[in-house]
Amino acid sequence: MPFILKEISELLEGKVAGDDQVLITGINSLKEASPGEISFFSDPRYRETLKRTRASALLVSGMTDLYRGPQVIVPNPALAYAKVARLFTPPLPRFPGISKSAVIHESSTIGDGVSIYPFVYVGMGAIIGNHSTLFPGAFIGDRVRIGERTVIYPNVTILQDCVVGSDVIIHAGTVIGSDGFGFVRDGTENVKIPQIGFVQIDDHVEIGANNTIDRAALGKTWIQRGVKTDNLVQIGHNVVIGEHSVIVAQTGISGSANIGREVVLGGQVGVGDHIAIGDRAMVGSQSGVAKSISPGEIVSGTPTMPHKLWLKTVGLIPRLPQFNTRIRELEKKVGMLQSKLEKVE
């Protein structure tokens, strides 16, 4: 469905410089845009691409003379892009109603306008909120509660007693509520500590594909409102992740760690058990967090250190062989100086 540029500008509360009656049929990158499509410019690295773009309109934060078509001036072109992209996003493909090839326990409660694909299993006493969507292979365990407008992608497993909020997205292959990794040694054997808690996922959370989020040993593992996780993230039992935090792919958070709000963890980070990471802290990719991090700190490395110190430090790691040579050289020189000095004395 096409829009007139004026409509788009009004949606964004922006200002059009140039023809606001242009018909916009889609959105694309500067490089790939065809006539009819709108694009966006915010990263100066793309100046050369901007000059050659075939886009019919542009989202910008300030007028640019590198582009001759109409420009919509907005405070945050990236945010404006997200909003315009939503206009052109095809709707979620939803199964009409409840498939006869799904198995839904008679004691469960299914809300209005729920879409349940074939091969979905919904357990005893589960509750699925209005307008939620369950894709094929979704397993919804006994007494699981799911809010409204939530999307559970294919082959997701949500085990018994877990709670998922409204407007949540859980990508394919993710496991919610697997047992926490708790054992106690008895001689040479590892005795399982029963994991009798659950996982709670609050509203507006998005969980990536093939994540694993373990249920608590006791009490709950808690993913708070607005958290976003990337793919292949591991979250241990009794972890708490504060509101609007962001966790990049392949990061692992050990049991009982407490992550604050608006925290950013880079990719492939490891967080030790019982660690606390303060609000708005940031942790660089591949870091190993073995001690707690204060609010607002920006750290990297193993062990974690201030990010700026880490940048200096990793720059020196390839120079260790030089260090070695320089120290050896110094030792030689100092030895020679010592013997010379002895002679002089």
Binding residues for a second copy restricted to 229-288, rule: CB under 8 A: 230-232, 234, 236, 243-244, 246, 248-250, 252, 254, 261-262, 267-268, 270, 272, 285-286, 288
Distances (CA, A) of 266 to 233, 301, 315, 336: 11, 11, 20, 50
Catalytic residue among 171, 204, 237, 244: 237
Burial class (CB in 10 A: 0-12, 13-18, 19+), 216: buried
Three-state DSSP class for residue 121: strand
Per CB under 8 A, 340 contacts a second copy: yes
**DSSP letters spanning 186-200:** ETTEEEE-----EEE
CA atoms within 13 A on the CB side of 93: 5
Per CB under 8 A, 189 contacts a second copy: yes
CA angle 208, 214, 219 (to 5 degrees): 125
Asked if 98 and 122 touch (Cβ cutoff 8 Å), the reply is no
Per CB under 8 A, 11 contacts a second copy: no
Cα–Cα distance for residue pair 231/216, rounded to 1 Å: 21
Q: Which of residues 63-92 bind a second copy (CB under 8 A)?
A: 76, 78-79, 81-83, 85-86, 88-90
Q: Which is nearer to a second copy, 21 or 313 (CB)?
A: 313
Q: Which of residues 194-213 bind a second copy (CB under 8 A)?
A: 194, 196, 204, 206, 208-212
CB of 108 to a second copy, least distance (A): 13
Query: Tokens at residue 277, please?
Result: 């990471």
Q: Which of 10, 18, 20, 29 binds a second copy (CB under 8 A)?
A: 29
Per CB under 8 A, 28 contacts a second copy: yes
Q: Which is nearer to a second copy, 130 or 181 (CB)?
A: 181
Per CB under 8 A, 145 contacts a second copy: no
CB of 65 to a second copy, least distance (A): 25
Per CB under 8 A, 179 contacts a second copy: yes
Number of chain residues interacting with a second copy (CB under 8 A)? 124
Cα–Cα distance for residue pair 172/207, rounded to 1 Å: 9
CA angle 22, 23, 29 (to 5 degrees): 95
Pick from 264, 335, 334: which is nearest to 300 by CA? 264
Q: Which of 153, 199, 276, 283 binds a second copy (CB under 8 A)?
A: 153
Cα–Cα distance for residue pair 317/56, rounded to 1 Å: 49
Q: Which is nearer to a second copy, 74 or 114 (CB)?
A: 74
Per CB under 8 A, 27 contacts a second copy: yes
Q: Which is nearer to a second copy, 66 or 246 (CB)?
A: 246
Per CB under 8 A, 302 contacts a second copy: yes
Cα–Cα distance for residue pair 217/177, rounded to 1 Å: 11
Concerning whether 237 is annotated as a catalytic residue, the answer is yes
Per CB under 8 A, 23 contacts a second copy: no
Q: Which stretch binds a second copy (CB under 8 A): 9-17, 46-54, 57-65, 131-139?
A: 131-139
Asked if 224 and 243 touch (Cβ cutoff 8 Å), the reply is yes
Active-site residue set? 237
